[in-house]
Structure 1
């Protein structure tokens, strides 16, 4: 009797026969639990083998299909030899034998993967042969069904599943035959406890336990992957968590410390950590009880972007790469990693390609034995290719092929757009570009603006899309959708603009807006097959020019009416106003609106309407032919009724709940309002500004009076005067009327902010009750005056009685210098010379005001030219009277079309005088 064993375990005993020396003996053999084969030979008639030497048994063996080219040692153990009466002989020695296996098992490469969706190329990578590894447990999932003995648990609607393509919108898994996958990107629910669990494995006698498996885990969007073990199938202990890689790799986990258990469960735990994460895929699971671990082969390092994706929030990744991330952006394919160890000596690898999954493979390349990647650039986009790889051993033998993988190269279309800039409420035109090689049949851009302040107005095709339908719309989710569909020919290869979108911002402050393509964007070829795409973001610089609306305050008796004046300070030409005035408390109600003579409102629609507790005032120039030019002016007067019985001394605030001011394109401009304050009844003291007079020209002078209506004796006066815009200086103050004996305090002077502080008093006799002027102010206008109106008001005001005790005081109405001469006798001040002033504003978008002076009546032509000298438009062509004149140019040509952004010249010819200036149109 003796035991036989082979090292390595490549042989199985298949039979014995006796020889001449052992004729009459019987032979039996059995496989022991320890892997040895026990052989017993005996003579039932108690015969002996005669003394001598030579063979007593012939043994036949079967070589394992996966036995490598090697010498296998066959050894004796536990040999027992007896005589015919049962006595044992001493066995002096036991020899060993050798079986040479050749050529042996020619192991194929492993873990072949092909990167799908690259542009005009397919990147292949594989692992070299692992070398001899006994497989005590193996599962490769190639049946396409989840093995019955495996179990899964999850809180997700999906959990682990078996597939040949586990990819989803924002997590792509390279091709790898059948494999198990947990994809939280696809499920988007609770993927924190996705468990895939092996059947129980008896490791009671194992001293070494090595778990080897193929893994695709890139760690994107906070996904984690864990190996856990259990001895009861319920309570699991984590062994390790995996480090992310950008490709399929072999992982080896040492589980030796868990040996000795009759049942060992191994769990693959995929965890989304409570966020919308990515996933994990596993394949080719092997467990062996030797000390041999599979070397992990990583072919590429992550780029800076690839490393960022692992830790970034998913929303940030989607915003930056809405069309997906090209593989060459995630990994450094130009600098592959060379394996440091080679378990098996290999001379070369051959790469095969086919259009069919099962046949017609043709060799396309041979690479040396140190190379485990290949970039196939001989491919055509939108075509599916199948690949496998073989290994060439030093003796020239070629292995079987690897698993077959597939990949479809697809063009990556590049999308980008112009940067934009405009004032809030003003337009800019942005071109959108596509760089494509494949003919396209459709594009759909979904543009995200952050902050969400950009809207669209219109869109125009370009030369590339002249036979396409191009549409633009503002989406309910705040995005802007641009759709282009071919109506005839396709969008052929090129990199130019495909459309021009007219956009505008509506913002309360200056800001930089980020513009990007959302993941809803789609590009399709002429067969309406989706193509991959990349994009570049843009910015839109939003500027602010605030238009101010002021309602004047004052006082009025209950049972009577009160009129509030509407003051407009605008930097852009205004074509419409809509104001919702809400008295607070609601002791007043609007009854009418009348326009002032500061502007020709003959082509304007003017109305007032009571809506609930507020009064809506509307002024609209629908013909767009008579805008309110930039400046400051008294626009209208609004009449309010004060019901009888309204409590005296009540204060009512005329609040502008909503103020909308529109430009030439009927777009809203940023507006702010200043409410009026109305005192109900007759206050003890009320200031007004009256009797403005003077030449409103550069360097000119003027005067105005401050009146006081008071019902009680007033001893002290205090107020701060403001001029809007700041365009004049007070040069002298003279007490008059009931205050002609009063004292102007030395602290009365111009302030740094341009306002004028006044303090005066008369403690001897005081200002008796009454009404009329008490102060006369002399002013000088700035030398660079360029506005036709100056509004005066009081920013603060107060009065005191003879004992300097405060009295309730109001400021009523406003004061105004307006026109070219503002004397009460209506004499006209004529400019002394011809002049063409700088346009305002400059730069502008889309309107600007041009000012010029005529000392005499003259035939006037005002023309606009581009820098090529071409006449764009004639704005004025008529005889005009002497005086200062204003005209607005809306950036249009003779046909009324908007001109492009750029530098333009405006040329004034008045009589024999010619003047030219430059202006800049921004878009």
Structure 2
């Protein structure tokens, strides 16, 4: 009869059968088919790991053996149904010893499943003393059960021959080897080795790549029909017995009620059963029909269960660090689903989950998303009523945000998944990875330096340059060495802090500043601004002439969702005592208007004569152009070098000298700088910041010099008629979106208008009127706290916000999460 029948479980709506032709009469001297269900008592297992065991299913998570009758197996990462990924595998299965004296021909025949995956090696070895073994055959890899014949005739004159089946993982995380139907004969007959299918390119990679690479690329495994060329079966290389055809028999659900299924040609030794239902177990055997019409006995009986392979994938994502994006997760299924679980690995681990939303396919489902301990995100969905019907659409939408200090491409992969049908039967799955592009918009904090007299106070100004609305700030100011302590905080009157909590406290070595918008209605808008002045006490006894670095400790700048934004702080240098020369900016005059003009004075406070001056001052943003430089007072007879003016970096550069008398010790203005504003002004202020200062004596030797404070042009210095107004009505995207619990809506009014800003649901029903009033021209903001007109919280979902002013109407969408 035919032999070595194998059935492949786990295929989607298919069962693949392979068998070998009858091999004719071979007189056996020794046989073992392991149908007793355990290692025979006179066999020996030697191992440093799992060893060999007898089973009907020796598969594990990442190594699958096609169905066969009971067989002996060594599996590096599975034993008796348990996964053992940390096991070492150097395993010997030893036969009883044989007396082969006088035998001329000795042939070992056996069925083998060995695909060589992940570096596993399988060898047949022989010993004449039971201790020292030599390799007599190295098994060739194949992704199916095949018969193997080994010529042991060289041991025909030995009385004590032991044969070993040796599976070795070489100390790596490998796979295994299974053997069955062992037959030793002292004739020259041997069973042909028949391969039924060629490997595909993916199959070649699968059995040769490192296990970590395979698991990382295909965490759910590679479907069997992807690994072999199923459309082009190979004919038997050797058919010692003429066969007309093979009959295939099948039983559904048990191994008792077999019915004829189909006949195939005698040259064919494989059959693909496509008339099967997933999650149902089928039993098979095969018989041969000879030219005489006689039907052989049956092969061994095998079983297989087809299982649906569902496809998983997700959208790519992108956002700024600290801002949210929504990722769609898809599931392609052909049968009803009652549960799914996705574990998503983000590499590098910088994504954080916020919320998960249902879709049209999962409206009656309970969904949950959590960040698990290993850094992955886990999404669980359970049907509370209707199952997930067949389809390929979105099953959930996950809202996530990254925290990163650099532009980063995050790789998103399915590290694990579970999809179950309505009977809670596990379904196989394949998955595609995605990427999440993280970009950085840095918020900048700057401290200004200067000098402080021991026992007295000095002031350092805190400047903020932000690209997003700011709703909260926490800053620790630390002096190094710790010769300064915080004494007070004075916020700028150019920012409306009327709804903010403001505090400054010395906590240990740090002066902690806390600023928070209690109503979330008056954020600090994007731009560059003077935030506050920090009063600092220089401690008595501080060593004069030394420098202190005034820097930032823990720093958080938060958006409307209290999420931190990427922030960089620029520290300042503070001189202890009265420096020989100190520079500062005073008398800033002129309005910050397109095409406007202005000026500022540079003051010097000096205890030493100054003969050479060199300064660099940055205008941030770069709105100013230097149009004139005038020496003043103590420097009125000085010389201005021709290189003075705008340098290549668009900074104000000054080089001057007075070798006749120098600038005598004293205090007051030494230069007036005239500037012109450009036509494109978008920030409400321009900061004048010292980049470098240097002073020389009459011998051109350097004199210690420091820069103190900053200068500022603001729109408040001009008349209201000069303020730049929007040129047209506009309704901008809300921020953030999606949001929870509040979002900021910004709009532009080019003229005084009667304004209505109203929130609607997707059915067109009014939810909340935010604005219904006459408003002056300008850029305006409103905050929606996700409540209706009666103050009741509204449910999560998509909402519309509509602006109506004059004859203009604008509408945009936003998403509320809960």
**Partner Cα separation in structure 1 for residue 622 and residue 415 of structure 2:** 47
Q: Secondary structure at the match of 1:250?
A: strand
- Give the corresponding residue for 2:679: 783
**Partner Cα separation in structure 2 for residue 694 and residue 115 of structure 1:** 85
The CA deviation string for residues 392-430 of structure 1, in whole angstroms up to 9 with x for no partner, is 111111111111111111222222222111111111111
Q: Offset at 1:661?
A: 1.4
Q: Note closer, same or farther for the CA distance 1:746–1:829 as it changes in structure 2 (3 Å cut).
A: farther
Equivalent residue in structure 2 for 1:151, among 44, 60, 81:
44
Q: Note closer, same or farther for the CA distance 1:447–1:780 as it changes in structure 2 (3 Å cut).
A: same
Q: Offset at 1:281?
A: 1.0
**Partner Cα separation in structure 2 for residue 841 and residue 741 of structure 1:** 57
Superposed, 1:342-353 pairs within 5 Å as 342-353=239-250
The CA deviation string for residues 39-63 of structure 1, in whole angstroms up to 9 with x for no partner, is xxxxxxxxxxxxxxxxxxxxxxxxx
Superposed, 1:822-901 pairs within 5 Å as 822=717, 827-831=719-723, 835-836=727-728, 858-859=752-753, 861=755, 878-879=773-774, 885-888=778-781
Q: Note closer, same or farther for the CA distance 1:920–1:499 as it changes in structure 2 (3 Å cut).
A: closer
Q: Offset at 1:809?
A: 1.3
**Partner Cα separation in structure 2 for residue 833 and residue 483 of structure 1:** 50
Residue 555 (1) aligns with residue 448 (2)? no
**Partner Cα separation in structure 1 for residue 73 and residue 521 of structure 2:** 68
Equivalent residue in structure 1 for 2:211, among 306, 314, 331:
314
Q: Note closer, same or farther for the CA distance 1:612–1:233 as it changes in structure 2 (3 Å cut).
A: farther
- The 8 Å contact of residues 893 and 899 in structure 1, kept in 2 or not, is answered as no
**Partner Cα separation in structure 1 for residue 663 and residue 731 of structure 2:** 48
Residue 582 (1) aligns with residue 478 (2)? yes
- Give the corresponding residue for 1:452: 349
Equivalent residue in structure 2 for 1:141, among 34, 41, 47:
34
- Give the corresponding residue for 2:374: 477
Q: Offset at 1:731?
A: 2.2
Q: Offset at 1:891?
A: 9.5
Residue 738 (1) aligns with residue 634 (2)? yes
Q: Offset at 1:214?
A: 1.1
**Partner Cα separation in structure 2 for residue 781 and residue 853 of structure 1:** 25
- Give the corresponding residue for 1:127: 20
- Give the corresponding residue for 1:380: 277
- Give the corresponding residue for 2:260: 363
Residue 209 (1) aligns with residue 106 (2)? yes
Q: List gaps (5 residues or longer) in structure 1.
A: 1-107
Q: Offset at 1:112?
A: 0.9
Superposed, 1:398-477 pairs within 5 Å as 398-477=295-374
Residue 249 (1) aligns with residue 146 (2)? yes
- Give the corresponding residue for 1:114: 7
Residue 239 (1) aligns with residue 136 (2)? yes
Equivalent residue in structure 2 for 1:614, among 499, 510, 513:
510
**Partner Cα separation in structure 1 for residue 609 and residue 687 of structure 2:** 29
Q: Offset at 1:336?
A: 2.0
- The 8 Å contact of residues 593 and 724 in structure 2, kept in 1 or not, is answered as no
Residue 566 (1) aligns with residue 462 (2)? yes
- Give the corresponding residue for 2:81: none
**Partner Cα separation in structure 2 for residue 250 and residue 636 of structure 1:** 84
**Partner Cα separation in structure 1 for residue 475 and residue 579 of structure 2:** 28
Q: Offset at 1:674?
A: 0.9
Q: Offset at 1:899?
A: 8.9
Q: Offset at 1:531?
A: 2.0
**Partner Cα separation in structure 1 for residue 519 and residue 200 of structure 2:** 59
Q: Secondary structure at the match of 1:306?
A: helix
Q: Secondary structure at the match of 1:734?
A: strand
Q: Note closer, same or farther for the CA distance 1:799–1:918 as it changes in structure 2 (3 Å cut).
A: farther
**Partner Cα separation in structure 1 for residue 644 and residue 457 of structure 2:** 36
The CA deviation string for residues 112-169 of structure 1, in whole angstroms up to 9 with x for no partner, is 111111122211111111233332332211111211221111111x211111111112
Higher relative contact order (CA 8 A, sep 6+): 2
- Give the corresponding residue for 1:685: 581
- The 8 Å contact of residues 416 and 433 in structure 1, kept in 2 or not, is answered as yes
Superposed, 1:186-205 pairs within 5 Å as 186=78, 187-205=84-102
- The 8 Å contact of residues 184 and 276 in structure 1, kept in 2 or not, is answered as yes
**Partner Cα separation in structure 2 for residue 618 and residue 891 of structure 1:** 24
Q: Secondary structure at the match of 2:144?
A: coil
Q: Secondary structure at the match of 2:586?
A: strand
Residue 592 (1) aligns with residue 484 (2)? no
- The 8 Å contact of residues 790 and 816 in structure 1, kept in 2 or not, is answered as yes
**Partner Cα separation in structure 1 for residue 175 and residue 634 of structure 2:** 86
- The 8 Å contact of residues 798 and 813 in structure 2, kept in 1 or not, is answered as no
Q: Note closer, same or farther for the CA distance 1:293–1:777 as it changes in structure 2 (3 Å cut).
A: farther
Q: Note closer, same or farther for the CA distance 1:247–1:844 as it changes in structure 2 (3 Å cut).
A: same
Superposed, 1:540-551 pairs within 5 Å as 540-551=436-447
Q: Note closer, same or farther for the CA distance 1:922–1:469 as it changes in structure 2 (3 Å cut).
A: closer
State which drifts further: 635-644 or 168-177: 635-644
Larger Rg: 1
Q: Offset at 1:313?
A: 3.0
The CA deviation string for residues 694-717 of structure 1, in whole angstroms up to 9 with x for no partner, is 221222222112111111111111
**How many pairs are equivalent?**
799
- The 8 Å contact of residues 191 and 270 in structure 1, kept in 2 or not, is answered as no
- The 8 Å contact of residues 190 and 272 in structure 1, kept in 2 or not, is answered as no
Residue 169 (1) aligns with residue 66 (2)? no
Q: Note closer, same or farther for the CA distance 1:510–1:790 as it changes in structure 2 (3 Å cut).
A: same
Provide the TM-score with structure 1 as the length reference. 0.81
- The 8 Å contact of residues 861 and 874 in structure 1, kept in 2 or not, is answered as no
Q: Note closer, same or farther for the CA distance 1:567–1:193 as it changes in structure 2 (3 Å cut).
A: same
Q: Offset at 1:370?
A: 1.1
Q: Note closer, same or farther for the CA distance 1:627–1:833 as it changes in structure 2 (3 Å cut).
A: closer
Q: Note closer, same or farther for the CA distance 1:338–1:444 as it changes in structure 2 (3 Å cut).
A: same
The CA deviation string for residues 615-637 of structure 1, in whole angstroms up to 9 with x for no partner, is 22221224221111111111122
**Partner Cα separation in structure 1 for residue 599 and residue 734 of structure 2:** 32
- The 8 Å contact of residues 873 and 892 in structure 1, kept in 2 or not, is answered as no
Q: Offset at 1:220?
A: 2.0
**Partner Cα separation in structure 2 for residue 702 and residue 920 of structure 1:** 44
RMSD: 3.1
Provide the TM-score with structure 2 as the length reference. 0.91
- The 8 Å contact of residues 839 and 848 in structure 1, kept in 2 or not, is answered as no
**Partner Cα separation in structure 2 for residue 457 and residue 873 of structure 1:** 25
**Partner Cα separation in structure 2 for residue 916 and residue 488 of structure 1:** 42
Q: Note closer, same or farther for the CA distance 1:864–1:517 as it changes in structure 2 (3 Å cut).
A: same
- The 8 Å contact of residues 745 and 783 in structure 2, kept in 1 or not, is answered as no
State which drifts further: 191-200 or 452-461: 191-200
Q: List gaps (5 residues or longer) in structure 2.
A: 79-83, 789-793
Q: Note closer, same or farther for the CA distance 1:890–1:257 as it changes in structure 2 (3 Å cut).
A: farther
- The 8 Å contact of residues 593 and 722 in structure 2, kept in 1 or not, is answered as no
Q: Offset at 1:888?
A: 4.1
**Partner Cα separation in structure 1 for residue 652 and residue 229 of structure 2:** 69
- Give the corresponding residue for 2:791: none
Equivalent residue in structure 2 for 1:761, among 654, 657, 665:
657
Residue 666 (1) aligns with residue 666 (2)? no
**Partner Cα separation in structure 1 for residue 239 and residue 342 of structure 2:** 49
- Give the corresponding residue for 2:498: 602
Q: Note closer, same or farther for the CA distance 1:125–1:844 as it changes in structure 2 (3 Å cut).
A: same
**Partner Cα separation in structure 2 for residue 860 and residue 654 of structure 1:** 50
- The 8 Å contact of residues 119 and 172 in structure 2, kept in 1 or not, is answered as yes
- The 8 Å contact of residues 247 and 287 in structure 2, kept in 1 or not, is answered as yes
Q: Note closer, same or farther for the CA distance 1:312–1:889 as it changes in structure 2 (3 Å cut).
A: farther
The CA deviation string for residues 58-103 of structure 1, in whole angstroms up to 9 with x for no partner, is xxxxxxxxxxxxxxxxxxxxxxxxxxxxxxxxxxxxxxxxxxxxxx
**Partner Cα separation in structure 2 for residue 330 and residue 174 of structure 1:** 13
The CA deviation string for residues 318-351 of structure 1, in whole angstroms up to 9 with x for no partner, is 2332223221122221222222332221111111
State which drifts further: 504-513 or 283-292: 283-292
**Partner Cα separation in structure 2 for residue 464 and residue 842 of structure 1:** 28
Q: Offset at 1:559?
A: 1.4
Q: Secondary structure at the match of 1:771?
A: strand
**Partner Cα separation in structure 2 for residue 916 and residue 733 of structure 1:** 51
- The 8 Å contact of residues 836 and 915 in structure 1, kept in 2 or not, is answered as no
Q: Note closer, same or farther for the CA distance 1:169–1:887 as it changes in structure 2 (3 Å cut).
A: same
Q: Note closer, same or farther for the CA distance 1:231–1:591 as it changes in structure 2 (3 Å cut).
A: farther
Residue 802 (1) aligns with residue 698 (2)? yes
